[in-house]
Amino acid sequence: MRNLHLVAFALLVLCGGCSPSTTPAPSTTAPADSAPAPKQKTIGASLLTQGHQFYRDLVAAMEDEAKKQGYALRIQYAEFQSPKQINQIETFVQQGVDALIVAPCDSAGIAPTINDAASKGIPVFTADIAAHNANVTSHIASDNVLGGKLIGEYLAKLLNGKGNIAIIDNAEVASVQERVAGFEEALKAFPEIKIVQKAPGYGRRDKAMRAAQDVIQAQSDLNAIFGINDDSALGALAALESAGLQDKVIIVGYDGTPEARDTIRAGKALKADTVQHPEEIGKITIQTIADHFAGKPVQKVVPVRVDIIDKASLDAEQK
């Protein structure tokens, strides 16, 4: 019996140094999750019109750059109707877009709507047309004052420094106000040139044609017309040709659309244009928004270059 107790004691000593074989407890630390993919930024755009080639070119560049930046771009067209544009912007705000692009129909009247969007934390960028007294993060547009000045100086040379000029205008739009201001500034150097009438064409060809017809009837000694965009210039050309005055009155315009270029090249009454670069405006607008999203400072006003084209320069391009 004593020997059995010794054996049992020895077994207990041997086993006491052994750890029981157990399955390791699962780790309570979860593997690190991968960072969630950033939410795609959405930009809402309410633009003046789809009817102008200028805006079609601008939109194509905006869409291309937005795709490169990975943004969703939602575009609406106000078609010159301020109430429609206000509704479009308010809808974008309700949808919670990350930024807004606006080309105003009414540069003054749109301010409260833009300011409301900005107060809700949505940055607003104006493209081509400015908004007066509005809380805009950045305005991207042609240097319209310079463009008006260049075309004014060109027309003064065509007129040899004297003559009567009418303007087919669109006074509610800031970019047009700037063009006309530059145009008038250039003409101050030519005291024998007079602006005898400004007629509202609203930037649309049919309305510009009717406005030009009224000018022709009222001004028997008219020498030239400045159309504030190419639809205005081409509408004025149609009025002159209808009245048989295409060899008496000359026209200068603004935009440099393909149709205007062809008309200038053909040697008609439309003699020259200030050329805008809508593709650059569209691209730079999206790039400016991208900089803002990235926390980079952006310019309050981003001017885009302008040039002058006439028959000589267009003919040279083809050589």
Average pLDDT estimate for 280-306: 97
CATH topology of domain 42-141+278-303: Rossmann fold (3.40.50)
Q: What's the pLDDT at 33?
A: 52
Q: Is the pLDDT of residue 9 over 90?
A: no
- What per-residue confidence (pLDDT) applies to 291? 98
Fold of 144-277+311-318: Rossmann fold (3.40.50)
Of 310, 304, 258, the residue nearest 144 (C-alpha): 304
Residue 25 Cα distances to 28, 31, 33, 83, angstroms: 9, 16, 22, 68
- Beta-carbon count within 10 A of 12 CB: 9
Domain with CATH 3.40.50.2300 in the chain: 42-141+278-303, 144-277+311-318
Instruction: Express each pLDDT in 96-148 by its tens digit.
Output: 999 999 999 999 999 999 999 999 999 999 999 999 999 999 999 999 999 99
Burial class (CB in 10 A: 0-12, 13-18, 19+), 119: exposed
Confidence of residue 227 (pLDDT cuts 50, 70, 90): very high
pLDDT tens-place string over residues 148-204? 999 999 999 999 999 999 999 999 999 999 999 999 999 999 999 999 999 999 999
- Nearest in space to 215 (alpha carbons), one of 230, 229, 232, 231: 232
